[in-house]
Amino acid sequence: MIDRYIRELLESNKKQNLISRQATEKEIREHIEDSEYLRTIVDLKGLRVLDIGSGQGFPAIPLAVGEPESSFVLVESDLKKSMFLKGLVFELGLKNVEVIRARIEELGKNSEFRSRFDLVTCRAVAELPVILEWGLPVLNVNGLLAAWKGAAADEEIRASQKALEILGGKVRQVTNYEIGGKKRCIVIVQKTKECPPQFPRRVGMAKKRPL
């Protein structure tokens, strides 16, 4: 199934810019390995997972393939990328995946999504203070947020202290590793209490004025 995913991604990338035009199969497999690394840190079995900014399917598609007993909601606001994801889910026959074209700020205010998930994932979308405002409101209390980061992870964690205090989050684990010779990091944040009702703020505010 992963091989089919790679073929679909490479083929679709010829028509639309999902990843770098020069991306090789080796590089895509490294993205997949990076996505799957979360399974060495967190037991995903049976969890309800929401992925923010799913784009070309990392990390959610590899995780969903490996965890058929978990359910995944992929949130992507871009029309072309969301259509690619919906087609991919159909082609792969992934019954545990739903793709939603929406802004995460809107879902965070929706009672069907707010405080409904066990795990939120986010890879290569925004800096940590922004991800916290987007992700913590849709988590259950004690749920986990997993943010993929690079060399600047420590700096982003320091910049997130205010957001953590306001939103009710605590950094539980920081795991450093290497994929393809590149330093990678996954920051795990636990939601410790309900978020104040005014968060997330309206679309665009988290990036424009980070907490």
pLDDT value at residue 23 = 78
Q: Which residues of the chain have pLDDT under 50?
A: none
pLDDT of residue 162: 98
List pLDDT tens digits, range 3-32. Answer: 999 999 988 888 787 877 677 889 999 999
Q: Are 26 and 179 in contact (CB under 8 A)?
A: no
pTM of structure: 0.96
pLDDT in tens, 120-135: 999 989 999 999 999 9
How confident is the model at residue 67, as a pLDDT? 97
Structural domain count, the chain:
1
What is residue 19's predicted lDDT score, i.e. its pLDDT? Answer: 78
CATH code of residue 194: 3.40.50.150
Q: Which percentage of the chain shows pLDDT scores above 70?
A: 100
Pair type for strands 117-123 and 48-52: parallel
Q: What share of the chain is helix, strand, coil (3-state, %, to 5)?
A: 40, 25, 35
Q: How many CB atoms lie within 10 A of CB 170?
A: 12
Count the neighbouring beta carbons within 10 Å of the beta carbon of residue 178. 9
pLDDT at 187: 98
Domain of 204 in residue numbering reads as: 2-208
